[in-house]
Structure 1
Amino acid sequence: MADQRSSQHNNRREDHHGERAGRSAAIDLQKYIDRHRRRHGERPALQRIWRSVATFFKHTFNIREGRAPYHVIRKRFVNGARLNGNHLCILIVAMVIACIGLDTNSDIAIVGAMLICPLMGSVLAIAYAAATLDRTLARDAAAGLIVQMVFCLITSTLYFNLSPVAGMTQAMADNSSPTVWDLILALVGGFAGGLGNSRDQEPATLISGVAVATALMPPLCAAGYGIAAMNLGLSLSALYEFGINVVFIALSAMLVLLLLGTPLKRDLNDDGVVTAQEDADARSRAHTVRWRILIGTAIFAIPCIILTSNMVRAADDPTPDSYGAAETARELAVVCPGFKEYTVGLQAEPASDGSSMDEELVARVFTDEELDSEDRTMAEELIRLDVKNLDRVEFRVE
């Protein structure tokens, strides 16, 4: 009886081993078939095309190729945020040049100021700190940027207080009116700046081009003019444009660093030892911080999107706008307290001898409060920039 049970047990074990061997052989055969098909291109046509396209783009847009070592990247980003006497002197000189450019509508002077402006270093350092979760660097870079902003505002305010010809110019208006296009320029410029700073070769030329494209300095000049003219609306609008540039340059440069796999700062307590718990905490915190950055930048862009949508809606208005009233109204909304409406057009007036009617080109600004003489002067200067041969400007309270 015992022999019979032992024989049955052995038979079942042999059957089980046979089934396992059969399954293993079937798996090996399927792997061989799949490998044969991959080797000889025996895939569905659509799958082959998709893989070829994906491989092409993967190799063509491989930004990790030519990347500098991580310690070199860190050195470049961190060094750009360090302040010293030479740095601040160049900053002040660049600001004076930019103020002259905005005051005289000189594009050459404005571009020259942006080429030597050292503000981009602090912005890229903030991007590196956000990508690597380096709180110390983030604090130092943000503090350095604020210090530079203060120097720029003081310099530009003094210049426009002392300048005998200071007034609203087209360049001033352009650099105090944020739009979605400024946001897009900041995004692509930040991407180029982050990419250039991470290459093996020196990125000086590319960073200079990014500084010109993203225009960090002119909005600070416009803000200084607003302070000098005691126009809070103009100053806030120009500072918001500067903020849009800073935030989205940093966001885009941070994205480049994440794509390059820049390592996090995992030594959270700076004791020189990275524990498994610190590593897990760093990864978790990085995920949270990045989501907060994305949400914060999206919220920060809402006023810019609203301003642009109003401008586009005015541009799509079928009513003829031969005097650029829509663009002027957008600029007046920045400089005029309580602004409501702006109109411009020809108006028939009796001639001095009463025998005929003369036509005058008249602009009217409607506000909900009386404007003081400085606000009226600034608004009139702005209108005359856009409307040539203007006969007079009228201000009305509704």
Structure 2
Amino acid sequence: MLSPTSTDVIRATLPVVGAAISDITTLFYRKLFDAHPELERDLFNRGNQKQGEQQKALAGAIAAFAALQLEPDQARVDLILSRIANKHASLGIEPAQYAIVHTHLFAAIVEVLGDAVTPEVAAAWDEVYWLMAETLIAMEAGLYASAGVAVGDVWRDVRVRERRHESADTVSFVLTSLDGSPLPSFAPGQYLSVAVHLPDGARQIRQYSLSSAPSRGDWRVSVKRAGEVSNFLYQNVFEDDVLAVSTPFGDLVLQDDDAPLLLVSAGIGCTPMIGMLSHLADTEDSRPISVLHADRSASSHAHRAELTELVERLPFAVMHRWYEDLGARRPEGSLREGRADLGEVTIAPGTRAYLCGPLPFMLGMREALLAKDVPAENIHYEVFGPDSWSATV
């Protein structure tokens, strides 16, 4: 909790800092990478850096965290920081790296804001930063401990036992340990990081949802051919190859209750839902489950046959699909043409909703769920890439 003195200063300066936060974070990354080029090459997603997405997400998180110190809302703080902590854990972030970030972030603040950064202002924002950083460090320590690994020691080599096509532009890799022992279990809906060495010498890391049940002793990830690392994996990784992957992390996980479920996905956002449904089918779950998926066409729908099979294994599950292009097919039963429309779906009281897909799709689905009186705290989601959503909802 901020000290009273710092609270007053943050309240007075938040509008100024908030207005400049995008400039601050852009300059911060430039300073950070000038001083530590290995971080840009080997840790940060350089595609997101080039597009400005990482800068936007960091700016939103800092501004939102500071604002929440003025009007405390612990649930929102937990939401924002839990997602960051899980991502950091999947990268193996260690406490010492927060001091490096602090050095270059505050240099950027001083350079952008100039004389407005008095000693009192600097002290207050320093307090905000370390409150946020120390909370994240504690969360990450808990995640490492729960995973049974030392702080930052999340990487292991695994072997690709099987590679198979799931759609025209998506492949799955089934991963096993090098010695044949079962890989650790995970919570349905979680993801792992994959690190690859690219032809230019960079080590780039990306996250992929686990699209298999947690009890089978292996891990499966599904990769859509898009972006630098996913294209590399699609083109260059085959059966018997070895990959460097992290321990699974992630906070989009099924709650331990019997609430009705609504699983809503679009495109490759189906992967965490496939993992959840595999677990639900393996455990013979009997709660009401509605599965909604939107895609461009049947040929682009990854895991299409598997999704149908999993829904059929669950006694009280129903499926709704929307394809923008049905081709020669005609709308029938659960298959519709066009964009997903929750107006056509009955939402059971007490439903927990899980969303994954492009950000505009999820924002639209969230608004539709709120309009159907689904409480905001019952709407969970996963963002592929920098999370610029948590700070705004």
Which is richer in strand? 2
Q: Which has the larger radius of gyration?
A: 1
TM-score norm. by structure 2 comes to 0.26
TM-score norm. by structure 1 comes to 0.26
Which is richer in helix? 1
